[in-house]
Structure 1
């Protein structure tokens, strides 16, 4: 079916958005389960990245509800087929949905940034770069969101043409849409590809590095969706000027798709313990705590394990059964991981631990 041949994009958007929300919620629920069940020890468990991801899911949920309400009033159908009352309500929810929808695919950028922080533990310059890009993107999103309401004076004239008022030229909204979507597509590509070389240098099994890189790299699919939006924007705004209740729900599907792809890709790297548990390669958390308690009882001095870098290395590298090393901590959470620089530092401290054990045996 060619574009703009469907009779009702509202019903289509309603079904598609809820399906995407269900899949995304399931993946995020697994993420939370892994963090709560397996995320013990140094920087394990739930963190800021999880809170941001859950907030993004909530925004998606709110958007799906409003999309359902809008389709109930006829949004997605040709305006000429709607009653005057439904026409007003459909246009009103069109503005509301469009002003909220753009946050669905923009806020997950922060979820990507947060999970990268937990994986790579990058420094101040990278933090400024990442957050600078994300915040400037949010500025364009905010401008677009506000303009959906401010383009008409009074605001109510945007959906109720029975009152007196004026609206700005639709080209302004089109330009803002092009800018925000193009910037979003760029950031999707950037955050998908930029971290890969750094992830591949982490001190972890090669297949784990590849898995994390691929999981985060899949977020480039969100840029494909965004580029497709850019490609059809011209025809969208042509139709929008003539039939304002008809085309926008199709953009709703694309916007929710982009946001859900980013949320899922930001969650996949956290599911490593669940995959290993399914393969029978992950020890229970009780067993890990038991081993940790046994080591603590054996008389290791606090000064031996007092280094922060050693604690990071011990808690998140030696606990991983795929590393082929003896489990020494209580965490089996894959994230955060340790950079080669930290790993090399912790190797020298490891020799100090061996010396300390020798003194105990004497």
Structure 2
């Protein structure tokens, strides 16, 4: 039996003999996971409300961020269950059942802890694919590389983790089987190295998701002040990058931890922070229309349609009609259009039925680009999207 397996068996079966009190980090853990997932839920609902209110539909990036949120909620519920059976307390104060159940719950919570931020990063990659579609100077293939890399790297590491003991994964939480660790499982240091690799790739992805929006902003025609404001929305992945770095650092000595139920709590907290930060920073840029003060507009009927092939610029045509009985001999119908195609008409008053009502109506028909790239560009504030979709920013 290896030294690591012997130490692990002793720690789980008998508990560490120390003079520390029976305290619990569980309540802090529960508060942290539910407060953060609540913020994520509010942000995602704000994102979805904006999309449905402005664009009248959802897109693939929304589906992925919804998936990330659902997995995050399951992670919070799983951690809560773990705290109920002893996660957060010193292992030597727990019964044999509590030790096994806390370790089992904690082990399976890692599955959701890795899949949720993976889906969140993939969602933001899809958003950037949409935005890159409005700027021919920005290539899409690097985005696809990181999109596919997120899926391949994270799934591969998870498979390696959950198959490291073959079909004997219960060794991790069953005290009577822990002595078989050296026989059935690979060296724990290998899992630590894989964790470093996974964390490093996720950090690199966050760095890319921070840098690419800066390129898009630099290419757009906005004032410096507007560019800085837009960067504050689109470059928030730097926060996810910081959380990923800290989480990777916390994983440095996982294979050396013996008091698992207590000492793993800081690592779980940083996993939770990273998970929720990824969801939040992927959603905030698309909530921008909620914080723009809309100006008063006349009553309009807007009929979205595909624009003419020759231009992305909007065209509008409106007509204005007013009439009243007293003091007038005729009414005037004055169409207003850029082309002045329809001439002005005068209608004698005696042709109208008597009425003392003044009616004023205005109709505006606007052609807008309804394709995904320009819709997303308009929502986040890129000028090319606002030109193609003026109605989305009003």
With the shorter chain as reference, the TM-score category is 0.7 to 0.9
DSSP-derived class of the 1:292 partner: coil
Specify whether residues 270 and 136 from structure 1 end up closer, same or farther in structure 2 by C-alpha distance, changes over 3 A only: closer
Q: Where does residue 281 of structure 2 map in the other structure?
A: 265
d(CA) in 2 for partners of 1:209, 1:90: 49
Q: 1:243-282 to 2 correspondence within 5 Å?
A: 243-276=259-292, 279-281=293-295
CA contact (8 A) 2:218 2:227 kept: yes
Q: Where does residue 66 of structure 1 map in the other structure?
A: 78
| Range that drifts further, 72-81 or 329-338 | 329-338
d(CA) in 1 for partners of 2:26, 2:160: 23
Q: 1:223-238 to 2 correspondence within 5 Å?
A: 223-238=241-256
Instruction: Quote how far apart the aligned CAs of 1:173 are.
Output: 1.3
Matched, 1:199 2:231: no
TM-score by length of 2: 0.69
Specify whether residues 251 and 138 from structure 1 end up closer, same or farther in structure 2 by C-alpha distance, changes over 3 A only: farther
Task: Report which of the two has the higher share of helix.
Answer: 1
CA contact (8 A) 1:95 1:148 kept: no
The structure with higher relative contact order (CA 8 Å, sep 6+) is 1
CA contact (8 A) 2:113 2:271 kept: yes
Q: Where does residue 336 of structure 1 map in the other structure?
A: 377
Instruction: Quote how far apart the aligned CAs of 1:250 are.
Output: 2.2
CA contact (8 A) 1:88 1:159 kept: yes
Matched, 1:158 2:172: yes
d(CA) in 2 for partners of 1:145, 1:124: 36
Q: Where does residue 8 of structure 2 map in the other structure?
A: none
Question: Structure 1: any 5+ residue segments left out of the alignment?
Answer: 297-301, 316-325, 347-362
Cα RMSD (Å) of the superposition? 3.5
Larger radius of gyration: 2
| Range that drifts further, 259-268 or 175-184 | 259-268
CA contact (8 A) 2:78 2:109 kept: yes
Specify whether residues 339 and 74 from structure 1 end up closer, same or farther in structure 2 by C-alpha distance, changes over 3 A only: closer
d(CA) in 2 for partners of 1:12, 1:57: 21
Matched, 1:48 2:60: yes
DSSP-derived class of the 1:160 partner: coil
Specify whether residues 23 and 249 from structure 1 end up closer, same or farther in structure 2 by C-alpha distance, changes over 3 A only: same
Q: 1:170-185 to 2 correspondence within 5 Å?
A: 170-185=188-203
Q: Where does residue 314 of structure 1 map in the other structure?
A: 314
Matched, 1:292 2:268: no
d(CA) in 1 for partners of 2:285, 2:132: 12
1:1-38 superposed Cα distances (whole Å, 9 cap, x missing partner)? xxx99943333222111111101110111111111112
Specify whether residues 6 and 168 from structure 1 end up closer, same or farther in structure 2 by C-alpha distance, changes over 3 A only: farther
Q: Work out the number of aligned pairs and report it.
A: 310
Specify whether residues 265 and 342 from structure 1 end up closer, same or farther in structure 2 by C-alpha distance, changes over 3 A only: closer
Instruction: Quote how far apart the aligned CAs of 1:76 are.
Output: 2.2
Q: Where does residue 140 of structure 1 map in the other structure?
A: 153
d(CA) in 2 for partners of 1:179, 1:6: 36
Task: Report which of the two has the higher share of strand.
Answer: 2
Matched, 1:169 2:161: no
1:65-108 superposed Cα distances (whole Å, 9 cap, x missing partner)? 11111111111221111110111111111210112211222221
Q: Where does residue 32 of structure 2 map in the other structure?
A: 16
d(CA) in 2 for partners of 1:206, 1:138: 36
Specify whether residues 341 and 105 from structure 1 end up closer, same or farther in structure 2 by C-alpha distance, changes over 3 A only: closer
d(CA) in 2 for partners of 1:220, 1:90: 33
Q: Where does residue 36 of structure 1 map in the other structure?
A: 52
User: Of residues 88, 104, 112 in structure 1, which corresponds to 2:124?
Assistant: 112
